[in-house]
Amino acid sequence: APHMYVTILHALDLESGQSFLNIGSGNGYLSCLASCLLGDCGLSHGIEINESLVSHCRDSCTRWFDTILERRNEGEGDLPCVSSEGVSFVHGNCFDIDVPRAESSCKYDRIYIGAGCPEKHLEFFFSLLADDGVLVVPVHERNELLKIRRILGSVYSTTHISNVHYAPLVKIPAIRSNNIMHM
C-alpha cells in the first residue's frame, strides 16, 4: 500500500549520512526513497530473497540514478543528493547474514523489515542495530507495526505505529531451546 512508504519513512526518521538496511527490499522503491534522505554520504543496503526482484531492482536503480545525474547536468538544482555507490542490493536470506562479521564492521542506524517477523526472531535484528538505532518491524503474531529504538546496549523503547497484516518472512531458521540461532 503506497501510504505505508510514508508511514515507514516517517518512523525511520532517516538523516543524511546514516546507514539503512532494508530486509525484503522487493522492487527497491523504498530503498531509493531512503537514499534521497540519506544523501550522497549515506548507505542503503537491501537484501531480498527473490533473485529476479534483485536484478530488476539493480536495473531500475541504475536508470533512476542516471536520470537524476543527467537532470543535474542539465541544470536542475532541486534534485536529491544521491550516490549510486551508496545503494546496493543482494540476493539472499537475511538470516544468513554473518552477524559477528557485520557487528565488527557495520551496525545499521536504521533497519526496516518488509515482512511479518516472528517476535522470537527480533533479537537477531537487534544484533545488527547500532546504539540509538531504529528498527521498524511488523511483528507477525500481533499484526502490529512497531518502531523499536535501541537506546544503548540492551535498553530499548517501543512505539506502536499501526495494526498491519504483512506476509511472513520466509525461510526462517529454527531456534534452539537455549535461544541460540542455527542456520
Walk along the chain (183 residues) and give the pLDDT tens digit of each residue.
Answer: 788 999 999 999 999 999 999 999 998 889 988 988 998 889 999 999 999 999 988 888 888 888 888 898 898 888 888 777 778 899 999 999 888 887 777 899 999 999 999 999 999 999 999 999 999 999 999 999 999 999 999 999 999 999 999 999 988 877 643 333 332
Handedness of CA 159, 109, 117, 155 (dihedral sign): negative
pLDDT at 80: 80
pLDDT at 180: 34
100: Cβ–Cβ under 8 A, 6 or more apart, which residues? Answer: none
pLDDT at 72: 83
pLDDT at 92: 92
**Rounded Cα–Cα distance for residues 11 and 49 (Å):** 24
pLDDT at 179: 37
pTM of the prediction? 0.89
Residue 77 half-sphere exposure toward CB, CA atoms < 13 A:
0
Whole-angstrom CA distances from 87 to 20, 61, 99 are 9, 8, 20
pLDDT at 177: 36
pLDDT at 175: 60
